[in-house]
Structures are given as C-alpha cells and as structure tokens.
Structure 1
Amino acid sequence: MISVLFAVLTALSNGTASVLQRRAAAGVPDSEAMRLSLIGHLMRKKVWLAGIGLVIVAAVCQAVALATGPIAVVQPIFVIELPATLLVAGFVMRAGVPRQVWCGVAAVTLGLALGMAAAAPVGGSDDVQGAAWVPALAATAAFEAVLIAAALGTFGNTRAALLGLAAACGYALTAALMKDAMSRLDAGGAAGLLTAWQLYATAVAGVGALFLLQNALQSGSLVAVQPMLTLGDALISITYGVALFGEELRTGWWLLPQLTGVALIAAGCVVLARSPLATADASPRTG
C-alpha cells in the first residue's frame, strides 16, 4: 500500500529530525523556554535547520500517506519513529547499537504489526462531515491547555514529557486537518484546497506543535520526549479517525490481540528508554 510506504518514510524522516533538533536544542539556556526567542537561537544552528528540512520532507510524505489511506492506519505506523530515533542517534554518536535496543525495536515492530492486523481499520470518509470540527477543536484546546499548564509547573524530564504529549496532540490534529484539506483537493482541485480553512488551520496547528516540541526537547532528554510524542500521536490520531472520519476498528475478541499489541509497544518503549544508547543522548544543558 502506498499509504503504508509513505507513512514509514514519514516516521524515518521524523526520527532523524528529532535527533538533529535535540542536538541543537540541548545547548539553549533554560531561560529561553516557552519564548519565541528559542526559535531564534535554534535558527542559527545548521544542525537544527537540517532537522527542519527533514520535517518538511516528512510533512510531504505524510500528506501523501493521508491522501491515500485512513488516518487510523497511517498515524499508528509512526510508533516506529522511536526505534528509528534511537538507531539514528547511535549512528550520529558513532556508538554501537546494543542488543537491548534491538529487542526494543523488535517488540515495538511486532506490537505494531499485531495491533494493526487485529484492529484492521476500515471505512470512513475522506472529509469531516458537518460541524464535527467544533467539539473536536474545543476538546483539543482544553486538553492542550491542561498539559501546558501542568508542564509550566514542573521542570526537567517531567516538563519534557508533558510538552511532548502536547506536541503529539498538536501533530495528531495537524494530520486530521491535513487529511480533511486533501479531500478538498480531490473535490474542487487547487481552488478547493486553497479556499479550505483546513489548509491554513493545518499550518497553524503544525507550527504550534513544532514550537511545543522544541520546548519539550529543550526541557529534558529525548528519552522523556519521544515515547510520549510517538505513542500519543498514534493513539490520539486513532481517536480523530474514529470520531471525525467515521473509521471503524474491530471489536469483540479482537480487542485482546489489540491490547496485546499495545502492551508490546509499551514494553518496547520502556526497554528502549532504559537503554544505554538512549541515556547517552541526554546531554547537559547550559543556563
């Protein structure tokens, strides 16, 4: 499937981008947290700009994936972004990849395959019907506000994890808006796309998610950020797919292998988070 291929390419691009952005954000003083000046600091670093370039590549691949497949299929594939991030980090740091990391990669991959095969997302429309966006956007805004408020009251990896989840919600919203916007391209051509509010809302949500992610990476280690970012994006995206696009998942006894898949993914993430390779990424910050 084209959607699966481009979803995998999106995950690999985002994983590499996370490593590059983390290397750039680690040297920014804590005093710049949650300020626009943080972006100014980062824009002067070539490694961060390279990461942004890969984010753009990932966005294009994601648009293709969402235009050709259900959001409940495309977004969960992004859980492989965490293993990809650590493997790329090992290459960048010129460190060997220990067996522990490979075991975590295997668990995440197997869990994803099992969960997706059991859930078998089907159906759904390419666009959001009626005024369904109104309660969805209200609920998203409330969720984001709670996460950001909680993050501002903490420090270190706790703040990083909360902001990582907030960024995940932002990216899931971006994906849902992007899919809805792409449906306008099919229906009305370029004019239909350019006059759709979803296109511009996608840009706003994407920039907001990127800002939250940079602050998450600046606040703590990649280990704290990436699991929340990866798993949060997948689970929240599935919620959008079901609630907004009418996509359907198998229920009944199929829930057992689905939960088993989620458990394998969670266990794999824990293994990866505890690996020496992941810990080594937590470089000291100044300020």
Structure 2
Amino acid sequence: MISVLFAVLTALSNGAASVLQRRAALNVPASDAMRLSLLGHLLRQPVWLGGIGLVIVAAVCQAVALATGPIAVVQPIFVIELPATLLLAGFVMRVGVPRPVWSGVAAVTLGLALGMASAAPVGGTEEVRGAAWIPALVATGVFEAVLITAALSTRRNARAALLGLAAACGYALTAALMKDAMSRLESHGAVGLLTAWQLYATAAAGVGALFLLQNALQSGSLVAVQPMLTLGDALISITYGVTLFGEHVRGGWWLLPQLIGVALIAVGCVILARSPLASGGQEPAPRVK
C-alpha cells in the first residue's frame, strides 16, 4: 500500500528529527522555557535546522500517506520512528547496537503488529462531514489547555511528559486536518485546497505542536517525552479517525490484545529512549548527525 510506504518514510524522517531537536534543546537555557526566545536560540543551531528539514520531508510524506489511507492505519505506524532511527544511527556510525536496543525494537515492533492486527482499522470517509469539526476542536482545545496548565505547575520530567502529550495531541490534530485538506485537493483541485480553512489550520496546529515539543524536550529527558509523544499521537489519531472520519476498529474482547500491544510499545519506547543513541550521550561515542 502506498499509504503504508509513505507512513514508514514519515516515521524515519520524524524519528531522526526528534533526536536532532533533542540535542539542540539541551543547549537552551532553562529560563527560555515557554517563551518565543526558545526558538531564537534554536534557529542559531545547525543541528536543529537539520531536524526541521527532516520535519518538512516528513510532512510531505505524511500528506501522501493520509491522502491514500485511513488515519487510523497511517498514524499508528509512526511508532516505529524511534527504533528505526536508532538502528540507522548505529549502522551509519558503525557502532554495535546494544542488546537492550534490540529488545526495545522487538517490543515496539511486536506491539505495533499486535495492536494493528487486533484493531483492524477499516472504512471511513475521505473528508469530515458537516460541522463535526466544531466539537472536535473545542474538546482538543480544552484538553490542550488542561495539559499545558498542569505542565506549568510541575518541573523536569513531569513537565516534559505532559508537554510531550500536548505535542502529541497537536500532531494528531495536524494529521486529521491535513487529511481533510487533502480530500479537498482530490475533489475540488488546487483551488479547493487553497480555499479550505483546514489547510491553514494544519499549518497553525503544526507550528503549535512543534513549539510544545521543543519545550517538552528542553524540560526533561527523552525517556519522559518519547512514550507520551509516540503513544499519544497514535491513540489520539485513532480517536480522530473514528469520530471525525467514521473509521472502524474492533471492540469487545479485541481490546485486550490492543492494550497488550500498547503496553509493549510503551515499554519498548522507554528502553529505546534510554539508549545513548537517542539521548545524545557519550557512551557509546557516536553522534547522530
């Protein structure tokens, strides 16, 4: 499937971008948290600009994936971004991949396969019908406000986790808006796309999510951010797919293997995020460029 191929390409680009952005965020003073000056510091770092370049590549691939497949299929595939990036980093830098990393890769891969096979998302429309966006945007806004407010009252990894989940929600919203906008391109051509409010809302949501992610990465460790970002994006995207696009996933007793799959992915993400290849640590010595 074209959608699966481009979803994998998106995951590879996003995973590499997250590692580069994390390295850049470590050099930003804590006093710049939740301020526009944070972006000013990051813009002066080539490693961060390289990460943004990969974000742009990922956005193009994601648009193609969402235009050709259900959001409940495309977005969960993105959980492979961290394991794929770490394996690629180890290969490029000619460093042996530690055994825990392989365990994390296995957990994420098995969890994704189990979750997708048991959920079996199908169906759905290409665009959002009627005024369904209104309650969705209101609910998203309230959820984001609660997360950000809670994050501002905490510190370090707790703040990083909450902001990571807020960023995940922003990225999931961006994907849903992007899919709806791309449907206008197919049905009404370039004019329909350029006159659709969803296109400009996609850009706004994407910038907001990026800002939240930078603050999450600056606030705490990748171990705190990555599981919330990865699982939050996948699960919230499935929610958008079901509620906005009418996609269907299995319920009933199928929820049990789905929950097991989610647990495996979470464990795998924690294991992988602790790796020096992900955190930018010095042991082993290689750097992700």
- TM-score scaled to structure 2, two decimals? 0.92
Give the aligned partner of residue 72 of structure 2: 72
Query: Structure 1 segments of 4 or more deviating over 6 A?
Result: 91-94
Show CA shifts across 1:91-137 (max 9, x none): 68875421011011011101101111121111100100111100100
Give the aligned partner of residue 33 of structure 2: 33
Amino acid at match of 2:247: E
- In 2 relative to 1, CA 88–158 (structure 1 residues): closer, same or farther, beyond 3 Å? farther
Give the aligned partner of residue 195 of structure 2: 195
- In 2 relative to 1, CA 47–89 (structure 1 residues): closer, same or farther, beyond 3 Å? same
Show CA shifts across 1:166-201 (max 9, x none): 000000000000000000001100000000000000
Give the aligned partner of residue 186 of structure 1: 186
Give the aligned partner of residue 219 of structure 2: 219
How far apart in 2 are the matches of 1:166 and 1:159? Answer: 10
How far apart in 1 are the matches of 2:126 and 2:102? Answer: 37
- Count of residues paired in the alignment: 283
How far apart in 1 are the matches of 2:62 and 2:85? Answer: 17
Show CA shifts across 1:135-165 (max 9, x none): 1000100010011111111111111111111
Sequence identity of aligned pairs in percent? 84
Amino acid at match of 1:68: T
Shift of 1:217: 1.1
Amino acid at match of 2:238: I
Give the aligned partner of residue 98 of structure 2: 98
Give the aligned partner of residue 8 of structure 1: 8
Shift of 1:81: 1.7
How far apart in 2 are the matches of 1:3 and 1:118? Answer: 19
Amino acid at match of 1:270: V
- CA-based RMSD of the aligned residues comes to 1.9
Shift of 1:41: 0.9
How far apart in 1 are the matches of 2:235 and 2:246? Answer: 16
Give the aligned partner of residue 241 of structure 2: 241
For the Cα contact (< 8 Å) 2:111–2:265, is it kept in 1? yes
- In 2 relative to 1, CA 88–32 (structure 1 residues): closer, same or farther, beyond 3 Å? farther
- TM-score scaled to structure 1, two decimals? 0.93
How far apart in 1 are the matches of 2:172 and 2:281? Answer: 26
Give the aligned partner of residue 150 of structure 2: 150
Give the secondary-structure state (helix, strand or coil) at the position aligned to 1:129: coil
Give the aligned partner of residue 18 of structure 1: 18
How far apart in 1 are the matches of 2:37 and 2:91? Answer: 30
For the Cα contact (< 8 Å) 2:23–2:279, is it kept in 1? no
The aligned runs of 1:247-262 (5 Å cut-off) are: 247-262=247-262
Shift of 1:270: 3.2
Give the aligned partner of residue 123 of structure 1: 123
Moved more, 247-256 or 92-101: 92-101
Amino acid at match of 2:252: G
- In 2 relative to 1, CA 12–274 (structure 1 residues): closer, same or farther, beyond 3 Å? same
Give the aligned partner of residue 107 of structure 2: 107
For the Cα contact (< 8 Å) 2:19–2:280, is it kept in 1? no
For the Cα contact (< 8 Å) 1:184–1:196, is it kept in 2? yes
Shift of 1:281: 4.0
Which consecutive residues of structure 1, in runs of 5 or more, have no partner in the other structure?
none
For the Cα contact (< 8 Å) 2:104–2:268, is it kept in 1? yes
How far apart in 2 are the matches of 1:35 and 1:87? Answer: 34
How far apart in 2 are the matches of 1:279 and 1:18? Answer: 10
- In 2 relative to 1, CA 211–282 (structure 1 residues): closer, same or farther, beyond 3 Å? farther
Which consecutive residues of structure 2, in runs of 5 or more, have no partner in the other structure?
284-289
The answer to whether the aligner puts 1:173 opposite 2:173 as a matched pair is yes
How far apart in 2 are the matches of 1:158 and 1:89? Answer: 28
Give the secondary-structure state (helix, strand or coil) at the position aligned to 1:97: coil
